[in-house]
Chain A
Amino acid sequence: DTGVSQNPRHKITKRGQNVTFRCDPISEHNRLYWYRQTLGQGPEFLTYFQNEAQLEKSRLLSDRFSAERPKGSFSTLEIQRTEQGDSAMYLCASGRASTDTQYFGPGTRLTVL
């Protein structure tokens, strides 16, 4: 059972640029979640999918953020016109709909200069 994978692991970008992150969940999991974690804080929920349907989005997810899961497998999170406040660790997790345990990937650390 391979775990959740995320790419890239690190991303440094300049303010105003667009960035895209990818998450590959555990293969039999149909739930996929995105969280953001800043230094010294716990992860905060951004959005989640069941298969390809995006079921909930947090108010933290501004218009500059968009997430997709086109075929119900991997997901992408795009941030447009990045701001310094977007600097954080972006975590992806997956789980089965019938259980409530979410398994996390290693995260993508974004630094906006």
Chain B
Amino acid sequence: AQKVTQAQTEISVVEKEDVTLDCVYETRDTTYYLFWYKQPPSGELVFLIRRNSFDEQNEISGRYSWNFQKSTSSFNFTITASQVVDSAVYFCALSESNLYTGGGNKLTFGTGTQLKVEL
């Protein structure tokens, strides 16, 4: 069975600080996808990134960066120079890829990390 653990329930930082959100996953499959979503107070889940299990290259998008390490089953998310608008709940999720249905399987989410960025 799949499992995603986000051990940090809540993190508070001051604006312009860097912050890393941790994500550890469990799966028996060799082919899978990892995701990060942002859920602001409005409630809508906003897609941030998708990574497949064969691509361990780190990715940077503006102030966001992701570190995927298969050896430790982790997919951590770093926000550089945080801003108040980054305040939200961030979810890490895992999807196994079904070779018969071409992917697009259900997501297993972690419990989320509430990030509060203060002035």
Contact = CB atoms under 8 A, between A and B. Distances in A.
Contacts, number: 73
Interface residues of A, number: 31
Nearest to B52: A100
Interface string B36-48: 0100001111110
B101 A44 contact: no
B51 to A, nearest CB: 10
Given A99-B103, A107-B44, A42 B35 contact: no
B28 to A, nearest CB: 18
Nearest to A9: B43
B104 A99 contact: yes
Contact of B103 (A41, A58, A97): A97
Nearest to A89: B43
A20 interface: no
Interface of A: 31, 33, 35, 40-45, 48, 50, 55-56, 58, 89, 91, 93, 95-107, 109
